[in-house]
Amino acid sequence: MLIDSHAHLNFSAFKDDVGKVIKRTLDNNIWVINVGSQYSTSKRAVEIAQEYEKGVYAAIGLHPMHLEERKVDHSEVDSQAVFKTRAEEFDYEKYRELAQNPKVVAIGEIGLDYYYKPKTKKKLEEFKEKQKETFLKQLNLAQELNLPVILHCRMAHGDLIETLNVIMKQLNNETINGVIHCFTGDEAQANKYLELGFYFGFNGLIFKKIEGAPDWQEIIKKLPLKKILIETDAPYLTPPQKEGQRNEPIYVKYVAQKIAELKNTTLEEVAKITTQNARELFKI
């Protein structure tokens, strides 16, 4: 058994065949967590999860990219990652109500994203402050509901770690459980997240060598397997074994195989431990 801890079958890329994709997923003994990025996709994730007795779950949250309207183009990493965002204000009560559904297992994906920076210093500070304020509100929601968090972070690990440290002090050092989805930080940042008790989500990005980026394969070798989750981020970040295709949860096996190779262990061991990790974190 494998668990794809982060997919977006609730996105438009799957609007025509989500049922078939999920059938393939479950038939291959793979469970999946559908992750929201704004209210509409969070609601859709819950609706999909409700159709299945087990094996399909939902996470709800407002992604930092959806705080502003813009065109997103990450085609340099993934040809499918080109879309438009719609500006949304975080409505605590609406998300809180949605989170009452028993199929909701996490608040996410939430966090900080500094990739698209405003050009002026004033706008940049406003941009960062709005993201931090929204992030803190969602961390508070997770604490209120005793749910783990799925964290998105891009070019903002220093601020994210600082924010987590601040809120943990406010909570009298109570632990915030969660996973750093699609970890892109360096080894020093990984160690800081470890100290905070977080898991690390890895997907098809680990097959890529990006100029100026950390060597994530080396980081995986040093991380304890008991702190690793596997994911696809479908429909994005397709592993090279299926290059050019839309990513989907059944391809999470390639990520598991690569991690087994890097950790000098078996696929069965990686499947066992990462599944156990996901089940413990998300209480599924």
Give residue-wise pLDDT tens across range 259-279: 999 999 999 999 999 999 999
Residue 86 or 211, more confident: 211
Give residue-wise pLDDT tens across range 11-26: 999 999 999 999 999 9
For residues 30 and 4, is the Cβ–Cβ distance under 8 A? yes
pLDDT of 236: 97
pLDDT of 177: 94
Give residue-wise pLDDT tens across range 32-51: 999 999 999 999 999 999 99
Give residue-wise pLDDT tens across range 124-174: 899 999 999 999 999 999 999 999 999 999 999 999 999 998 888 877 656
Is 6 a known ligand-binding residue?
yes
How open is the CA angle 184-267-4, to the nearest 5 degrees? 50
Chain centre distance of CA 55: 18
Pick the range with the lowest mean pLDDT from 62-71, 249-258, 267-276: 62-71
Pick the range with the lowest mean pLDDT from 14-18, 119-123, 236-240, 274-278: 119-123
pLDDT of 78: 54
Average pLDDT, the chain: 93
Q: Is the pLDDT of residue 75 over 90?
A: no
Q: How many Cα atoms within 13 Å fall on the side-chain side of residue 282?
A: 32
d(C-alpha 244, C-alpha 242), whole Å = 6
pLDDT of 80: 54
Neighbours of 31 (CB within 10 A): 23
Q: Is the pLDDT of residue 74 over 70?
A: no
pLDDT of 172: 64
Which pLDDT band holds residue 121 (cuts at 50, 70, 90)? confident
Q: Is the pLDDT of residue 69 over 70?
A: yes
Domains and CATH numbers, the chain: 2-282 (3.20.20.140)
Is 8 a known ligand-binding residue?
yes
The mean pLDDT of 48-55, rounded to a whole number, is 98
Is 109 a known ligand-binding residue?
yes
Task: Output the DSSP codes for the chain.
Answer: -EEEEEE-TTSGGGTTTHHHHHHHHHHTTEEEEEE-SSHHHHHHHHHHHHT-SSSEEEEE---GGGGS-EEEE-TTT-TT-EEEE------HHHHHHHTTSTTEEEEEEEEEE-SS--SSHHHHHHHHHHHHHHHHHHHHHHHHHT--EEEEEES-HHHHHHHHHHHHHHTTT----EEETT----HHHHHHHHHHT-EEEE-GGGG---TTS--HHHHHHHS-GGGEEE---TTSS--GGGTTSPP-GGGHHHHHHHHHHHTTS-HHHHHHHHHHHHHHHHT-
Pick the range with the lowest mean pLDDT from 7-11, 67-71, 76-80, 279-283: 76-80
Is 157 a known ligand-binding residue?
no
Is 181 a known ligand-binding residue?
yes
Which pLDDT band holds residue 86 (cuts at 50, 70, 90)? confident
Is 233 a known ligand-binding residue?
yes
d(C-alpha 178, C-alpha 198), whole Å = 5
Which pLDDT band holds residue 230 (cuts at 50, 70, 90)? very high
Give the C-alpha distances (Å, rounded to integers) separating 263 from 96, 138, 269, 278, 279.
Answer: 39, 34, 10, 19, 21
pLDDT of 83: 55
| Main-chain phi, psi angles of 83, to 5 degrees | -160, 175
Q: Is the pLDDT of residue 3 over 70?
A: yes
